[in-house]
Amino acid sequence: MKHDVMKALSAARPQQLDPPADPAAARARRERDLGRALRADPEAAPAAGRARGRRPVRWAVIGTGIVSAGAAAAIAVSAAVPGAPEGGDPGGGPGEISLGKEAVLVAAENAAKQEIGEYWFSDDVAGQSYVVRGGTGSYVMVGAYTESFRWAGAKPGSASGGAWRMLPARPQTPPDAAAWRKAGSPAKIRAWSGDKWLTLNTAENTAWKVDHSDASGGDQWYGRMTTEEVQNLPTDPKKLTERFLTSEAMQWRAAGAPSPEKLNEMERAHGPLPKHEFDSFAKLGAVGGLIVNSPVPPDVRAGLIRAATALPGVEAIGEATDPLGRKGVALASESRTVEVTGDSGTPPGQRGTYMARKELIFDKATGAVLASQYVLTKPGGPYKDRARGFVIDYMAVRDTGWTDAKPQPPAKLPH
């Protein structure tokens, strides 16, 4: 069954995934050809009072943006497909999956041991993989490449702030770098994205730009929670599942309501909203969004990891390597089938059907999220010449944690 993409986007667009104010960056992040309608994070509507010009906290990474109207018409997403496609899951057989789950639970146990400081911070990078095809051969460039830094005081009413910067497009792997050099090392590269061509720039301006600074402590986090509400979340996995990970809970958050009661008020005033079933892809993304995009205490993070391991359709796949080359233990969602059509003028070579899933990678020693990856499980369409395991896009956390000194964004680039 295919979902109406525009309705799905309306229901699943998270506030955190708003693109940067920079127009070129906005185009790059919006014009996706990934078809991740009914996306990972369940917050749909922008929070009241959040200025569009700001670059809000996003989960993206593992990278998702609004698909433009033309692109949405050309992309359809089927219901989740249980398990991996033919050939088995990269995590191996049942014994290995069991060991993988145990490793993730160890990460959860270690997460609970981390200490809280005066400030929480998170520094992440997000990128989209574009397959470039030319006369000298094909190669992959990572574009729509951004870095976000955010911080907040641990105490209710404390200040918070954030900044972001664009990063230069770059070859994804050493073989891609060799192919790019063979093509003449072009500084600007034309790539298809959703419903139009865009230009990837290998010489972006990497200066930090202030996202926002809130001295009053009035920032809101995932689900429009205050810092105090985040600090007081339950630690029990079942209670966290009930609050955030049931389809009902995700439905009212997707509608932009801060509570089920507010959703009922909205529906009484404006009529019933379309109902959606949220799959393991969406729920695993919600777990990542909560951990990465809000100052949850260590024991709450541990509870969220434990809740994720128990979600139907989510399986442990053992050790995985993130886009920054770090090894961790991972959970994976069911695969989704994505069909790219020619309705928006998509070139014939980009059309077709592929399957992909979400992978959430944890540092086993600390329980921190290392990365969220959107990973190819069955080649086809724009990724017909890529292998299973190809990372379509990602969000990787360079650094996160608690400190007693006010955090500052790093000067050094991630690559």
For the segment 329-370, what is each residue's pLDDT rounded down to a tens digit? 999 999 999 999 988 899 998 999 999 999 999 999 999 999
DSSP code at position 114: P
For the segment 369-386, what is each residue's pLDDT rounded down to a tens digit? 999 999 999 999 999 999
In terms of Cβ atoms closer than 10 Å to its own Cβ (0-12, 13-18, 19+), residue 152 is buried
In terms of Cβ atoms closer than 10 Å to its own Cβ (0-12, 13-18, 19+), residue 53 is exposed
For the segment 48-59, what is each residue's pLDDT rounded down to a tens digit? 232 323 333 333
Overall average pLDDT of the 34-50 stretch = 31
Tell me, what's the pLDDT at 218?
A: 59
For the segment 266-310, what is each residue's pLDDT rounded down to a tens digit? 888 888 888 888 999 999 999 999 999 889 999 999 999 999 999
Overall average pLDDT of the 73-88 stretch = 45
pTM for the model stands at 0.78
CA distance 303 to 48: 29
Tell me, what's the pLDDT at 195?
A: 84
Overall average pLDDT of the 80-99 stretch = 44
CA distance 341 to 382: 11
Residue with tokens 């200040």: 159
Asked whether the predicted pLDDT for residue 46 surpasses 70, the reply is no
Tell me, what's the pLDDT at 353?
A: 97
Higher pLDDT among residues 32 and 98, named by residue: 98
Q: Could you tell me the pLDDT band of residue 45, with boundaries at 50, 70 and 90?
A: very low
Please state, as a whole number, how many other Cβ atoms lie within 10 Å of the Cβ of residue 404: 8
Mean pLDDT highest for which of 40-44, 335-339, 410-414?
335-339
Tell me, what's the pLDDT at 33?
A: 29
Residue 37: strand, helix, or coil = coil
CA distance 125 to 60: 9
Overall average pLDDT of the 212-234 stretch = 77
87: left (phi over 0), alpha (psi -120 to 50) or beta: left
User: pLDDT averaged over the chain?
Assistant: 78
Overall average pLDDT of the 250-270 stretch = 81
Higher pLDDT among residues 26 and 161, named by residue: 161
